[in-house]
Amino acid sequence: MSRTHDERRSRRLARMRARAFGGDRRSDRLLREIVDAAEDEIEAAESGLAGRVSRKLGPKGRFLAFAILIGVMITTASIYYERRVVETAVRADWQDPVLVSEGRALYRDNCAFCHGDALEGQSGWDGDFPRGHRPALPLDGTAPIWRLSDDDIFDVIKYGGQPFSPRSYKNDMPGFEMQIPDAGIWALVAFIKSRWSEETRDRQEEEAAMRRPPE
Ligand code: HEC
């Protein structure tokens, strides 16, 4: 908007105000002034970029552009919300669909290779392996994963299996401390738990309660 236009407008408004409050009743002139001012505004808006674009688009185009804008806003907001949920996760809420779907993606990219697409583990996992090198265990509740609390599972994923095994036992579960942030590891635990039966989840809870010191 040009300066001269601004100046013209403010002078006109001042005159209008003076007349409106100054007892001068030439209302038809006042009305013309108002219409002039409004026309100036419209002209200024239309010569602006937004006005030119909007005129080019026509009513259909304007509607489409508006719909796209709303769509983009909703998508941005929901991505932001999901990021926040995932980045701030501090526990394995397996009923949180956003966290679980983040965990599912992380699982596919980092774990399915060894533990299988359906968390079924590698065949032969239940053999005897006194020196270690056990095949990857099922994580779906087929193996006794319920003996591990959420924190235990978190630690095994973060630090790998070796720190929790005797030195004579070679544990082939790698640690993901460098690849996956803590919140992502919670997402993984949430996803794994979401795949358990109700019974497995209850059993994990009972085991944890038994280990907890009495109040
Ligand atoms: C290179 C193969 C490999 C990859 C990749 C891998 N694991 Fe493992 N994982 C193993 C093996 C092998 C074991 C069993 C170790 C043992 O008991 O000797 C195991 C054990 C585990 C256990 C302990 C299960 C139990 O009942 O004791 C959990 C939990 C686990 N893995 C989760 C994961 C997750 C989550 C990922 C992905 C972030 C992952 N693993 C990636 C090989 C792998």
Cα-Cα-Cα-Cα torsion 117, 102, 175, 125, nearest 10 degrees, comes to -20
Average pLDDT, the chain: 87
pLDDT of residue 81: 76
Q: Does the beta carbon of 113 sit less than 6 angstroms from any atom of ligand 1?
A: yes
Ligand 1: which atom is nearest the Cα of residue 143?
A: 26
Q: Does the beta carbon of 85 sit less than 6 angstroms from any atom of ligand 1?
A: no
Given a cut of 90, is residue 108 above it in pLDDT?
Answer: yes
Given a cut of 90, is residue 201 above it in pLDDT?
Answer: yes
| Residue nearest ligand 1's atom 19 by CA | 173
pLDDT of residue 24: 53
pLDDT digits (tens, 9 = 90+) for 22-79: 555 566 676 677 777 777 777 777 677 777 787 788 888 888 999 999 999 988 888 8
pLDDT of residue 27: 64
| Residue nearest ligand 1's atom 25 by CA | 145
Q: Does the beta carbon of 162 sit less than 6 angstroms from any atom of ligand 1?
A: no
Share of the chain above pLDDT 70, in %: 89
- Test site for ligand 1: of 94, 114, 126, most ligand atoms within 8 A of the Cβ: 114
Q: Does the beta carbon of 185 sit less than 6 angstroms from any atom of ligand 1?
A: no
Given a cut of 90, is residue 178 above it in pLDDT?
Answer: yes
| Residue nearest ligand 1's atom 12 by CA | 136
Q: Does the beta carbon of 173 sit less than 6 angstroms from any atom of ligand 1?
A: yes
Q: Tell how far the Cα of 138 is from the centroid of ligand 1, in angstroms.
A: 8
pLDDT of residue 37: 77
Is the pLDDT higher at 12 or at 178? 178
The token duo for 138 is 């099922």
| Residue nearest ligand 1's atom 1 by CA | 114
Q: Does the beta carbon of 143 sit less than 6 angstroms from any atom of ligand 1?
A: yes
Cα-Cα-Cα-Cα torsion 162, 139, 185, 179, nearest 10 degrees, comes to 60
Kindly indicate the confidence band of residue 198, based on its pLDDT and cuts at 50, 70 and 90.
very high
Is the pLDDT higher at 59 or at 130? 130
Distance (Å, whole) CA 214 – CA 197: 28
Question: Long-range contacts: 197-203, Cβ < 8 Å, 24+?
Answer: 197/141, 199/141, 200/141, 200/145, 200/146, 201/94, 201/146, 203/146
Given a cut of 90, is residue 117 above it in pLDDT?
Answer: yes
Residues 6+ apart with CB under 8 A from 62: 54
Kindly indicate the confidence band of residue 102, based on its pLDDT and cuts at 50, 70 and 90.
very high
Q: Average the pLDDT over 155-169 and give the result.
A: 96
